[in-house]
Structure 1
Amino acid sequence: MRYILHSVTAAAVMVLIPAIAQAEIVTETVRYSHGEQAFEGYAAYNSALGSEQPTVIIIHDWDGLGDYEKARAEMLAQAGYAAFAVDLFGAGVRPQSIERRRQLTNALYADRDRMRALMESGLDAADNQSAIGADTAVAVGYCFGGAAALEWARSGADLEGFVSFHGGLATPDGQTFEQVQAPLLILHGSNDQVAPMSDVADLAARLDEDSVAYDMEIYGGARHAFTDWHASERYDASADLKSWAAMMDFLGQALNANN
């Protein structure tokens, strides 16, 4: 089923989520480290569903792990998944200025090995939470996080799937998708000025060349960051709800089939 609304908030998106009987949603901040640097993730899960639950790893946008990712994690917990939002910037590093956000993300784009290692550290931190089943997990990323999810997929990470919401789609020089171990889902707007349709076409060609299982949904007229309800000029309620429903279908196939 698809829902189309003209305006929506996080609460309205919840209409797509089936009610879980006797839901006992637990949320907690999780401190962990990579090398000598401290990081701070966020876990959300329904404690009534027991241990080792199918898990969604959330990768944040360029402003760091904040209220948006936490809300998405809680929505996933309401839907019956454990969720863990990883931190790629460091504890307390939540950049406010465009300049600082660009500096932090560019540093990770310039050091892809570190980006991959930080995501693996986040996955390890998730695995230390009893309710979270990191052995059965899908990575989901928003904007910068969408680009990071594709980077993680190219690394050959042993996850059940990877989802990019309006993410950067360009493939770095020298990289391929030959090592991808699981299906990809690309959710993108046709009017994305950051990752235009030429990037979508190039990505599809590369995925076809490397025989990767993938699906794409393109939302006509949707701009970059179309799921961000804080971005009033770019937020697209219809595309948000459709993409969330597409992700839930993907999770049902990738996680529940392996549960």
Structure 2
Amino acid sequence: MRGTLFTTATAALALAAFGGPAAADIVTQTVTYDVDGTTYEGYFAINDGIQGDQPVVLIVHDWDGLTDYEKRRAEMLAEYGVAAFAVDVYGQGVRPTTTEDKRAESGKLYQDRDALRARLAGGLEAALQMDGVEDDVIVIGYCFGGAAALEFARAGADVDGFVSFHGGLGTPDGQDYSEVEAPILILHGSEDPVAPMAQVAALAEAMNADNVDFEMQIYSGARHSFTEWSAKGEGSRYDANADLKSWQALLSFIDEQVD
């Protein structure tokens, strides 16, 4: 597997090198906000050394909830020169640690798409209320978060683009892409057993049917969760090559979609 070419630490440093402005200017904060009477806890990062308001990237977490992984991604985006807000769609303090609990929490929202959409919209509203941000927004997500980003796209969210990293790609019954308002970027591994290439093809057909502006980048040999550098030991699915390439694809997409 190509990920063995790099250690986790080396890959993380290489990823950080994509950033432009100095990390010394990065300001972060935990942000609590309410959606329909429930409190959620997000994470905001911005480069305070940049003058003027910045675009903001909304990051949707994996099925384990908002963790240090999404927080580091937010900081990396701030280092690049755009603000980032990692949303929480589970609720403050809800951070499942077992596979059973992760499946249960994500499953609740897969079964209640209206609730998922409401929580994404609430996170977006909280992000746009932060100091130093403008109304140019890109929504990205990892694994479960990638599926959530596509859900937000199908909901017709008024943003500038959507990006899925090794996300769930199935289109729920009764849904389509006719309400999509912005381009979609799919970053996916060719050996992903959770969302295999048949689902990639089906998604392309669904988006073609509704004239969506989309692009797909497929990384040969990459499996599910190929960007998760925290995975260690035998059987790790981390692929440093695909991770680095997909991150650069994201940065290029941001540059293309926001002013």
Q: Tell me which interval the TM-score lies in, with the shorter structure as reference length.
A: over 0.9
Which residue in 2 is equivalent to 1:7? Answer: 7
AA aligned opposite 1:106: G
Q: What is the number of residues matched between the two proteins?
A: 251
Which residue in 2 is equivalent to 1:243? Answer: 246
Which residue in 1 is equivalent to 2:136? Answer: 136
- Asked if the contact 1:163–1:187 (Cα under 8 Å) also holds between the matched residues in 2, the reply is yes
d(CA) in 1 for partners of 2:120 and 2:51? Answer: 25
Distance 1:50 1:130, change over 3 A: farther
Q: Say what the alpha-carbon RMSD is for the aligned residues.
A: 1.4
Matches within 5 A, 1:58-207: 58-133=59-134, 135-207=135-207
Which residue in 2 is equivalent to 1:16? Answer: 18
Distance 1:11 1:21, change over 3 A: closer
Shift of 1:132: 2.2
Runs of 4+ aligned residues of structure 1 deviating over 4 Å after TM superposition are none
Q: 1:104-134 CA deviation, whole Å, 9 max, x = no partner?
A: 111101110110010010011111211122x
| Uncovered stretches (5+) of structure 2, i.e. residues with no partner | none
- Asked if the contact 2:18–2:80 (Cα under 8 Å) also holds between the matched residues in 1, the reply is no
d(CA) in 2 for partners of 1:57 and 1:241? Answer: 20
d(CA) in 1 for partners of 2:164 and 2:206? Answer: 16
Shift of 1:157: 0.4
d(CA) in 2 for partners of 1:12 and 1:249? Answer: 16
Same amino acid, percent of matched pairs: 54
Which residue in 2 is equivalent to 1:254? Answer: 257
d(CA) in 1 for partners of 2:22 and 2:40? Answer: 33
Distance 1:15 1:110, change over 3 A: same
Distance 1:195 1:47, change over 3 A: same
| Uncovered stretches (5+) of structure 1, i.e. residues with no partner | none
Q: SS in structure 2 opposite 1:16?
A: coil
d(CA) in 2 for partners of 1:52 and 1:30? Answer: 19
d(CA) in 1 for partners of 2:23 and 2:213? Answer: 36
Shift of 1:20: 1.5
The TM-score with structure 1 as length reference comes to 0.94
Q: SS in structure 1 opposite 2:147?
A: helix
d(CA) in 2 for partners of 1:116 and 1:49? Answer: 32
Q: 1:207-246 CA deviation, whole Å, 9 max, x = no partner?
A: 1111100110000010000000012310000000000001
Q: SS in structure 1 opposite 2:218?
A: strand
Distance 1:37 1:51, change over 3 A: farther
